[in-house]
């Protein structure tokens, strides 16, 4: 029945010490750890520990495997968690910052830590019936969370760096704390239950994989920013990121962008940091609208606009249109007219003459020519701006007034199909202009590609042309493929990336015939391909009589064995083993 209190219990013995907790959720007063040797850990059967505050100045402390709840009834601004020295071990539990402000003015509760402090799960739950409580991190501190973070109640100005999922619930009251998504695992950001916006800066800084947005994300707080460093924010089709007036989004690149819809509100010129398929950054820009309440919504698609938006239906000034990408840019509120700027890069299937480029827009019936008011960059990458403000909005894409700017070889399909130990690659073109050759490239990570095969192109063709190639040595696991098309003048473009996976999880192997004749040998056949495995044949005493290491899916064993019972063992680099019995007669 302990109810907390503002006193302090200090662990300062020189040996190992424990804490134990009765059933329920009793709360002790403040806890301090100040030991010259030894550590403090939960006694057997203690899964949760509730305390008024925590300070660790010397010695080691191990949190419980369940909940470590720090807070309780507090009315004044103070530090509720302090780690100065020693080792704090999170023990895979959840730390709940739970100051309960029941009276007094608005208070701030601080978590003051050192660089080595690491939390597992964290919940911010500043229960309040008076004023608004705020959780803050110490000056220059970043709270490192290796699993999930939940904002349940109260405000937060703390800086969090999170490797797991982040959830914002209905009691969250905002705050301008920075939220950093990190590490190489897939993460989610869920504001489905939130009743207020998340007002802090958001930074995506991952080593691999992406952040999936499980709801709309509205960013409209003063001085709020979205920083895209590495890793994408993937937005499902029903959701969007809403960027408010004077809010910025910086750092977009092939390494980091928004895959999905982005809405921009306000009278700011804005570049939508959008893209698709992990590596195709494809920004589209607008000049400043005339009213802070007006907004535009954009999304990029790395697919042929045809047949949804018929590329043969176009005004006479346009020779042809891009067949590998388009943007949807809609004016979703207000009547502002803006200049529109499209971008191109490796993804864009070939730009050769900047002066001939045009901004094209589908008007519901045909593609309109919005001119070329300005180009930047080179044929490798750059932008083209409409020559006048656009007054109607719908799909946009790159186009050309001449046969220059291939945009592209009209690639109908590109497929990679596993076939035994190899991969069959096939593609088809509807037409070709100045096409010298194709190159098949392969990658383990969809970023660094290597040569696989070279296939000559048809030069110039207006007929359906089919091509095939083979990769005899795909990677174990996932192999990513792309098609590089090169013109006679050296200009080149890339197809979309396709993936093939060879399972490294063997399910079984067959022995036949079984029983086998002593002189005739037998066959061992694996159910799936694996890059390298070991096979051992042993007698009933466990003596090894035959060993094989390699990657043959069908192995012929011609050794002569005396009649009797033998055991065959399969093993691989992932520590999978399968044992079977065979009989030699």
HEC string for 26-65: CEECEEEEEEEEEEEEECCCCCCEEECCEEEEEEEEECCC
Q: Mark residue 107 as left, alpha or beta (left: phi above 0; alpha: psi -120 to 50; beta: remaining).
A: beta
169-189 average pLDDT score: 94
Q: Rounded to 10 degrees, what is the CA torsion of 222, 228, 229, 230?
A: 150
Distance CA 224, CA 268 (A): 14
Give the 3-state secondary structure of residue 464. coil
- What pTM value is reported for the model? 0.71
- Res 279: pLDDT: 86
pLDDT of residue 105 exceeding 80: no
pLDDT of residue 108 exceeding 80: yes
* 70-79, 417-426, 458-467: the lowest-pLDDT one: 458-467
pLDDT of residue 529 exceeding 60: no
pLDDT of residue 387 exceeding 70: yes
- 401: which 2 tokens? 């007034």
How confident is the model over 123-132, as pLDDT tens digits?
A: 999 876 567 8
- Is residue 397 exposed (0-12), middle (13-18) or buried (19+ Cβ within 10 Å)? buried
- Res 475: pLDDT: 83
How confident is the model over 355-367, as pLDDT tens digits?
A: 999 999 999 999 9
Confidence of residue 331 (pLDDT cuts 50, 70, 90): very high
Distance CA 24, CA 100 (A): 18
Q: Mark residue 407 as left, alpha or beta (left: phi above 0; alpha: psi -120 to 50; beta: remaining).
A: left
Confidence of residue 404 (pLDDT cuts 50, 70, 90): confident
- CA nearest neighbour of 49 among 114, 4, 88: 4
Whether the link from the prior residue into 324 is cis, omega within 30° of 0, is no
Beta-carbon contacts of residue 238 (< 8 Å; ≥ 6 apart): none
pLDDT of residue 241 exceeding 80: yes
Strands 166-172 and 149-156, sheet pairing: parallel
Give the 3-state secondary structure of residue 281. strand
Q: Map tokens 């309960």 to a residue.
A: 100
* 73-87, 354-368, 378-392, 401-415: the lowest-pLDDT one: 401-415
Q: Would you give the distance in Å from CA 69 to the centre of its chain?
A: 31
Distance CA 26, CA 42 (A): 15
Give the 3-state secondary structure of residue 583. strand
Distance CA 245, CA 268 (A): 7
- 491: which 2 tokens? 């200009």
- Res 506: pLDDT: 61
Tell me the CA distances in angstroms from 133 to 71, 107, 113, 228, 461, one per residue in order. 12, 5, 20, 30, 70
Burial 105-134 (b: 16+ CB within 10 A, else e): eebbbbbbbeeebebbbbbbbbbbeeebbb
Confidence of residue 13 (pLDDT cuts 50, 70, 90): very high
Distance CA 258, CA 310 (A): 27
When mean pLDDT is compared over 242-251, 424-433, 474-483, the highest value belongs to: 242-251
How confident is the model over 493-514, as pLDDT tens digits?
A: 788 888 887 765 566 778 888 8
Confidence of residue 215 (pLDDT cuts 50, 70, 90): very high
CB 157 within 8 A of CB 189: no
Confidence of residue 409 (pLDDT cuts 50, 70, 90): low
CB 176 within 8 A of CB 224: yes
- Res 374: pLDDT: 97
Give the 3-state secondary structure of residue 425. strand
CB 313 within 8 A of CB 366: yes
CB 206 within 8 A of CB 228: no
* 225-229, 308-312, 547-551: the lowest-pLDDT one: 547-551
Q: Map tokens 């969370």 to a residue.
A: 145
Tell me the CA distances in angstroms from 529 to 258, 418, 446, 504, 541, one per residue in order. 37, 11, 22, 7, 31
pLDDT of residue 93 exceeding 60: yes
Distance CA 476, CA 423 (A): 12
- Res 531: pLDDT: 65
- 72: which 2 tokens? 């309780």
pLDDT of residue 189 exceeding 70: yes
Tell me the CA distances in angstroms from 526 to 275, 520, 558, one per residue in order. 41, 20, 17
Average pLDDT over the chain reads 91
């Amino acid at each position: 029945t302990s109810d907390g209190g503002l006193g302090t219990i200090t662990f300062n013995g020189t040996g190992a010490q424990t804490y134990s907790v009765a059933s329920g959720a009793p709360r002790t007063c403040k806890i301090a750890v100040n030991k010259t040797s030894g550590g403090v850990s939960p006694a057997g059967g203690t899964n949760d520990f509730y305390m008024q505050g925590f300070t660790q100045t010397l010695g080691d402390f191990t949190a419980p495997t369940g909940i470590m709840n720090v807070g309780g009834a507090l009315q004044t601004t103070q530090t509720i968690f302090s780690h100065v020295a020693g080792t704090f071990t999170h023990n895979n539990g959840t730390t709940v910052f739970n100051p309960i402000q029941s009276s007094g003015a608005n208070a701030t509760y601080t978590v003051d830590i050192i660089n080595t402090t690491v939390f597992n799960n964290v919940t911010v739950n500043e229960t309040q019936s008076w004023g608004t409580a705020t959780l803050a991190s110490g000056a220059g501190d970043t709270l490192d969370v290796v699993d999930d973070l939940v904002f349940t109640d109260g405000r937060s100005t703390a800086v969090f760096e999170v490797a797991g999922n982040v959830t914002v619930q209905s009691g969250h009251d905002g705050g301008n704390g920075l939220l950093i998504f990190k590490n190489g695992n897939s993460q989610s950001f869920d504001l489905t239950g939130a009743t207020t916006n998340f007002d802090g800066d958001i930074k995506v800084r991952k080593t691999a994989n992406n952040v999936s947005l499980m709801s709309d994300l509205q960013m409209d707080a003063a001085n709020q920013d979205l920083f895209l460093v590495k890793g994408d924010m993937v937005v499902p089709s029903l959701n969007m990121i809403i960027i408010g007036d004077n809010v910025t989004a910086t750092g977009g690149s092939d390494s980091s962008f928004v895959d999905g819809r982005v809405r921009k509100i306000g009278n700011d010129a804005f570049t939508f940091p959008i893209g698709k398929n992990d590596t195709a950054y494809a920004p589209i820009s607008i000049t400043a609208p005339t009213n802070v309440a007006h907004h535009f919504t954009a999304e990029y698609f790395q697919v042929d606009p045809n047949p949804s938006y018929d590329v043969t239906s176009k005004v006479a000034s346009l020779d042809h249109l891009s067949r590998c990408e388009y943007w949807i840019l809609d004016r979703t509120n207000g009547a502002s007219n803006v200049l529109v700027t499209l971008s191109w890069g490796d993804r864009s299937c070939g730009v050769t003459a900047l002066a001939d480029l045009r901004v094209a827009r589908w008007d519901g019936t045909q593609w309109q020519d919005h001119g070329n008011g300005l180009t930047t960059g080179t044929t490798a990458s750059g932008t083209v701006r409409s020559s006048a403000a656009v007054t109607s909005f719908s799909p946009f894409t790159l186009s050309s007034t001449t046969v220059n700017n291939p945009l592209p070889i009209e690639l109908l399909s590109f497929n990679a199909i596993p076939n035994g130990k190899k991969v069959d690659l096939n593609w088809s073109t509807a037409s070709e202009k100045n096409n010298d050759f194709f190159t098949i490239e392969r990658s383990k990570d969809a970023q660094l590609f290597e040569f696989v095969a070279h296939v000559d192109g048809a030069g110039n063709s207006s007929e359906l042309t089919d091509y095939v190639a083979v990769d005899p040595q795909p990677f174990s696991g996932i192999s990513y493929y792309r098609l590089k098309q090169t013109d006679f003048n050296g200009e080149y473009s890339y197809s979309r990336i396709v993936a093939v996976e060879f399972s490294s999880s063997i399910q079984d192997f067959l022995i036949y015939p079984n029983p086998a004749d002593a002189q005739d040998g037998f066959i061992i056949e694996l159910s799936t391909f694996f890059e390298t495995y070991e096979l051992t044949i042993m007698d009933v005493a466990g003596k090894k009589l035959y060993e094989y290491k390699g990657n043959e899916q069908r192995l012929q064993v011609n050794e002569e064995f005396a009649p009797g019972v033998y055991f065959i063992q399969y093993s691989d680099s992932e520590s999978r083993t399968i044992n079977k019995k065979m009989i030699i007669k």
